[in-house]
Each structure stands twice: as C-alpha cells, then as structure tokens.
Structure 1
Amino acid sequence: MTDEQDKGIIVFGRDITKIPCFRNSFLYGVSGGLAFGLAHFLFTSRTLRSVNYSVYSFSMITIGYWMHCRYNYSKTKFEVMRLQEMLEKQAMLEGTDQFPQTNQQPEIVDV
C-alpha cells in the first residue's frame, strides 16, 4: 500500500475514519433525512418546508444515533477494561496459594 491509500479524511486535524460511530451516524442521518424530506414533499408539495424538515430530521437522527452508539461503545469499552483487569489478576495469582481452587470434583448423588 502506498501512503496515499492509507490517508483518511482529515477534518480539524483528526482522521474522521478512525472515530467510532461516525460513519453509521451520518449514513443513517442522511438516509433518514432524505426519506423524511421526500415523503413530506410528496404529501404536501411544499418545497421549502420539505427541505427544512429534511435538514431537521437529518440533524435529529444523526445526533440521536450518535449518542446511542457512543453510549453503547463506552459501556462495552468499560466492560472490556474490567475483564482485562480480572484476567491480569488471575494470571498473577495462578499457581499461588491465593488462587481460588474452583476445579473441585462434583459430588455424584445416587437416586
């Protein structure tokens, strides 16, 4: 790969292709805004108001999906960090006296 192929889209000094949830938020916002504006135009035939509704719905869908996606991303990231800490702690304690013995044989009960 050349250096030109690795470049992303830089906005304000930040590569927006690396931002989580950015792509999906804008895709859903654009498609939802376009659909809502077109549907409003088909029912009312008011061009200016349809364009305004299209922009409003684009903004609301994009912001709403962005907040929902980032909340889930942050929650998942926090859970992964906690799991990594627990795995590191288990690796440190494995083979020592402090390691909990959970590999006990289950009791067999005759019925």
Structure 2
Amino acid sequence: MKEVSDDSSIIIFGRDVTKIPCFRNSFLYGISGGLACGLIRFMFTSRPQSGANFALGAYGVITMCYWFRCRYRYSQEKFEMDKTRYLLEQHSLLKGTEADKSEDVNRD
C-alpha cells in the first residue's frame, strides 16, 4: 500500500511553490483585494464587465506590489541574519584568544 504523506506540495513548472517565500500571502491578498475591488466597482457602476475587468486589474496590481514588497523585506532580513551569523561565528572563533583580549581593551 501507498503511504499518504502529510506534506502537501504544489508543483508548477517543476518547482514546489509551497517552498517559495511570500508566494502564498501575495496571491491570497491579490485574490481577496481583486475580488473586493471588482465587487465595489460593480456596485457603483452596475456593469458586470467593467467590474470583472477592474477585479482582474486590481488582482494583478495588488499581487505584484505585495510580492515585491515582501521579497524586498525578506532579502533585507536574510542579509541581516547572514551578517549576524558571520559575526557570531567570528566571536566564537576568537573567544579566549589574544585577539579577543585586545578587543576588550579597545572597547573601554
């Protein structure tokens, strides 16, 4: 028998999109925002075609804006984490050596 794994993955073009940072939130915000904008447009104009076009445009704009914003923040945080990891590694390597003692003197 085949075992069913709890790991749900969605493969698009050979890539697991559940592993991509910001993918899920970008599309959820885009879909809900586009739907809301389309419904509001339809309520004010009473034209379904106009509401649908507006919803699709809003979906694209919201998804792209949120994606770029989220990825920018993600890359900033990753850079800071890499920098902190490097500094912690250097500190653990120098701890108890002459270089560590000279740094303590320079701090005072």
TM-score scaled to structure 2, two decimals? Answer: 0.89
Tell me: CA distance 1:43–1:12, structure 2 relative to 1, closer, same or farther (3 Å): same
AA aligned to 2:54 is Y
- Kindly report which structure 2 residues correspond to 1:59-98, keeping only aligned pairs within 5 A, or say none: 59-98=60-99
CA distance in 2, matches of 1:3, 1:98: 55
AA aligned to 1:28 is Y
Higher Cα radius of gyration? 1
CA distance in 1, matches of 2:14, 2:32: 27
Alignment gaps of 5+ in structure 1: 107-111
Structure 1 runs of 4+ off > 3 angstroms?
none
AA aligned to 1:81 is D
CA distance in 1, matches of 2:65, 2:89: 36
2:83 paired with 1:101: no
The secondary structure found in structure 1 opposite 2:6 is helix
State the Cα RMSD in Å: 1.6
Q: CA deviation at 1:101?
A: 1.8
CA distance in 2, matches of 1:60, 1:31: 12
Calculate percent identity across the aligned residue pairs: 49
TM-score scaled to structure 1, two decimals? Answer: 0.87
Of Structure 1 and Structure 2, the greater helix share is in 2
